[in-house]
Structure 1
Amino acid sequence: MTTLLVILAIVVAILLVLIVLVQNPKGGGLTSGFSSSNNIMGVQRTGDFLEKGSWGLAIALFVLALLINLNATAPAGNSTSPSNSRIQEQIDKTAVPSSLPAMKEGNTADTTKK
Structure 2
Amino acid sequence: MFTVLISLIVLFSALLIILILVQNPKGGGISGEFSSGGATQMFGVQKTGDLVEQLTWGFSISILVLVLLTNFTLSSVNSDATQSVNVEKAAGKTLPASPAPSPVAPAK
Given residue 23 of structure 1, which amino acid in structure 2 is its aligned partner?
Q
Q: What CA RMSD, in Å, does the superposition of the two structures yield over aligned residues?
A: 3.1
Name the % identity: 36
Match of 1:62 in 2: 64
CA distance in 2, matches of 1:57, 1:85: 32
* Structure in which a larger fraction of residues adopt helix: 2
CA contact (8 A) 2:34 2:40 kept: no
Calculate the TM-score normalised by the size of structure 1: 0.69
The structure-2 alpha-carbon separation of the partners of 1:27 and 1:89, relative to structure 1 and needing over 3 Å to count, comes to closer
Q: What are the superposed Cα offsets for residues 72-103 of structure 1, whole Å, 9 maximum, x if unpaired?
A: 122456543xxx3765553333235889x9xx
Match of 1:37 in 2: 37
Hey, what's the Cα distance between the residues in 2 that align with 1:59 and 1:29?
22
Counterpart residue identity of residue 53, structure 1: L
Measured after TM superposition, the shift of residue 39 of structure 1 is: 6.6
TM-aligned CA deviation for residue 31 of structure 1: 1.5
Q: Gaps spanning 5+ residues in structure 2: where? A: 101-108
Count of aligned pairs: 103
Unaligned runs of 5+ in 1: 102-114
